[in-house]
Structure 1
Amino acid sequence: MSRRVRPSPLLRAIERATTAMTRRALRAGADAAGKAAARGVEAMSAPYRLPVSAGDWIPGQAIGPAGLRRFRLFRPADVRSSDRLPLLVMLHGCGQNAAAFARSTRMDRLAARERFLVLYPEQDLAANPQGCWNWYDTRSHRAEAEAATLIAAIDQACLLYPVDRDAVAVAGLSAGASMAALLAVRWPERFCAVAMHAGVAPGAANSAAGVLAAMRGRSLPPTAVERGNRPPLLVIHGSEDRVVSVRNAHAAAEQWAAA
């Protein structure tokens, strides 16, 4: 019969110290994670702090099938009511809002120089807690409702500001890119061009359950799609992207070519 060996007082002291250190580290990690999450929520809900440039930032909101969505419109300086300017719709990615997307892209500076309008719609955190556009939820038609609400925002901008309706383009990043593609497929006559940066083509996922597989390139959209006119497509994708597989970029180009 084996005899149980009692740990020495020194070993017990080391174990107690190690346990205490581990608990403190876990508490510190939890506190840090909680503070980071709080900072993220604060950033998402903070008032607009948009960059100052040669033009005006005009707040607005549109109501559509998905409810109310806020937006900001950048208008270059000295625009007259008789002008007709191109409009670029910019759709942010997850974890961003319109102000953060404007700051990071600096599209207002280009718009001020080249004289076009920029519309920055913003996802409502009640519709998606991460601030993502619900591009994937086509099975429940939630994606179509959100896309129709974005169309309502574009219509409002065209009605209130000097927009050339034949020169409206849409661009997006990540979830915004996927929503931009969905808009272009559902309303191709409304856009003269579409740009996707690290996005997923329509049809790769139809519910929240399929999003991860689609992003990783394991669930690609069908190439055989309904033929018809689609606006010209620009695809931008980093070859080392570890969040959205570059296979999605090729799939989007192939889908457009097939159409």
Structure 2
Amino acid sequence: MRSISDTIAHLRGLAGSVDRTAQQAAPLTPIDDFGDNPGALRGYLHIPHDLPAHAPLVVVLHGCTQTAASYDHGAGWSTLADRFGFALLFPEQQRANNPNLCFNWFLSEDTRRGGGEVESIREMIVAVVERHELDPARVFVTGLSAGGAMTSAMLACHPELFAGGAIIAGLPFGTAHSVPEALERMRGHGHDRASLSDRVRAAAVHGGPWPTVSIWHGTADTTVNPVNAGLIVDQWRGLHRLGEPDITERIDGHTRRAWRDRAGRAVIEEYMITGMGHGTPLATDGDEACGVPGPHMLGAGISSTYRIAAAWGIAPAVAPSRPVDTAATVPQRPAPARSLRFDPTTTINDALRAAGLMKP
């Protein structure tokens, strides 16, 4: 039996091998000299060949234990960007800031307008939009887990920057301010439901329209309790002044709810992925397929990456047939059913608890 230190080393080794594969599959270009960078983050770009001026920009925030390259490899964003013509920005955490490579979504100094990691990401966005002549009206942000919670922070602190955001297995903004509080909120405990929307309103003076929000969560997520998905919905329903959902439907065996504004536009949507643990939902076959299953990247028979891009209007609403030359990068057989329930975070958490580094 492995010791705790051996187990953690083994998991980190697996992550390293994924990173190396990702870097070979989709090299990302470092972005330097983008501002003061008070959050001490790294940044990487993927700019498709012959990208036209005024193209959209998607900001992608990885989860804990991941890097920009490994998350791109798993979620397939660069494949989609090459196919449909938009730019990608990947902020990346450093171990000096967080030993598990989590964005510090629970620290006030990193989640306030004008400071910390939120400011570093804002500086990257402004620099990339200007240098590559991108469309400032079509900037979007998405992230998984801690990256999803940081997506909530970016949307709250800088709503004027974003047309839309997508939060995957994340948490609402402003509900934790320390590691113990973060762990409690991840379990679904201690949320102040009454103040959810007020926390966003207090984060920035904003008189314009609010970004659209897409929320994705697995019903079997034991790392970030699915109650958090409903809380994110409530936070943004209050901002958009919406009541009950206008649409409730089943898509590929999963539940989707949507809320429309007065113009009939879906400004909030929520996907609850049946039987899935903690991770980003992938489709491994069909025209929407992109990405590669792995730790936190879970075959679910539905592509969150494609459907998020389609909801933002930067990919067709109905996926066209995939080009033959991309088929080799996408597995041709569906992932085994057990991948829906495999949650690698449980192994990591068990090891941390046994080592006394995480509360039971």
TM-score (norm 2): 0.58
Q: Distance in 2 between matches of 1:50 and 1:154?
A: 25
Task: State the partner residue of 1:64.
Answer: 36
Residue number among 116, 128, 131 corresponding to 2:101 in the alignment: 131
How far the C-alpha of 1:36 sits from its partner, in A, is 1.4
Q: Does 1:29 align with 2:9?
A: no
Question: How far apart are 1:46 and its partner, in Å?
Answer: 6.5
Which residue does 2:228 correspond to in 1? 248
CA distance in 2, matches of 1:208, 1:214: 10
Q: In the alignment, is the contact (CA less than 8 A) between 2:64 and 2:102 conserved in 1?
A: yes
CA distance in 2, matches of 1:167, 1:107: 16
State the distance in 2 between where 1:48 and 1:236 align: 24
**Helix, strand or coil at the partner of 2:93:** coil
- How many matched pairs? 226
Name 1:19's counterpart in structure 2. Answer: none
Match of 1:49 among 23, 45, 55: 23
Contact 1:51 1:102 in 2 (8 A): no
Deviations, residues 202-233 of structure 1 (Å, cap 9, x unaligned): 12211222011110110225335138642011
Task: Find the aligned partners of 2:230 and 2:180 in 1 and give their Cα distance.
Answer: 23
Match of 1:179 in 2: 150
Does residue 143 of the first structure (1) align with residue 111 of the second (2)? Answer: yes
Deviation of residue 143 (structure 1)? Answer: 2.8
> What is the CA–CA distance in structure 2 between the aligned matches of 1:121 and 1:65, rounded to whole Å?
11
- Give the structure with the larger helix fraction: 1
**1:232 partner letter:** T
SS of the aligned residue for 1:237 comes to: strand
Residues 1-56 of structure 1: CA distance to partner in whole angstroms, max 9, x if unpaired?
xxxxxxxxxxxxxxxxxxxxxxxx5xx5356326415526856996971524xxx7
Is residue 2:60 matched to residue 1:90? yes
Deviating above 6 A after TM superposition, structure 1's stretches of 4 or more consecutive aligned residues are 44-48
Letter in 2 for 1:181: S
Which residue is 1:75 aligned to?
47
2:28–2:69 Cα contact (<8 Å) kept: no
Structure 1 regions of 5+ residues with no counterpart? 1-24
What SS does the corresponding residue of 1:194 show, helix, strand or coil?
strand
Which whole-Å deviations, capped at 9, do the CAs of 1:83-129 have from their partners, x for residues lacking one? Answer: 11000000000000001011001111111111000111110110011
Q: Which amino acid aligns with 2:237?
A: A
**Corresponding residue SS for 2:151:** helix
**1:197 aligns to what?**
168
Identity of paired residues, percent? 28
* RMSD (CA atoms): 2.4
Cα deviations by residue, 1:121-174 (Å, 9 ceiling, x for unpaired)? 110110011000001111xx2333110111011111112112101000000000
Which whole-Å CA distance do the structure 2 matches of 1:31 and 1:136 have between them?
26
Equivalent position SS for 2:43: strand
Q: Residue 103 of structure 1 corresponds to which residue in structure 2?
A: 73
- The answer to whether the 8 Å contact 1:50/1:102 transfers is no
Going from structure 1 to structure 2, the CA distance change for 1:36 and 1:155 (only over 3 Å counts) comes to: same
Is the 8 Å Cα contact of residues 62 and 68 (structure 2) preserved in structure 1? yes
- Report the more deviating stretch, 185-194 or 30-39: 30-39
Which structure: larger Rg? 1
Unaligned stretches of 5+ in structure 2? 240-360
2:237 aligns with: 257
Could you tell me how far 1:251 is from its partner in structure 2?
0.4
TM-score, normalized by length of structure 1?
0.79
**Alignment match of 2:210 (pick from 191, 205, 230):** 230
CA distance in 2, matches of 1:38, 1:247: 29
- The question of whether the paired residues in 1 share the 8 Å contact of 2:78 and 2:88 is answered with yes
Counterpart residue identity of residue 99, structure 1: A
What's the secondary structure of 1:128's corresponding residue? coil
1:209 to 156, 180, 192: 180
* SS class of match (1:68): coil
Q: Which amino acid aligns with 2:81?
A: A
1:119 aligns with 2:119: no
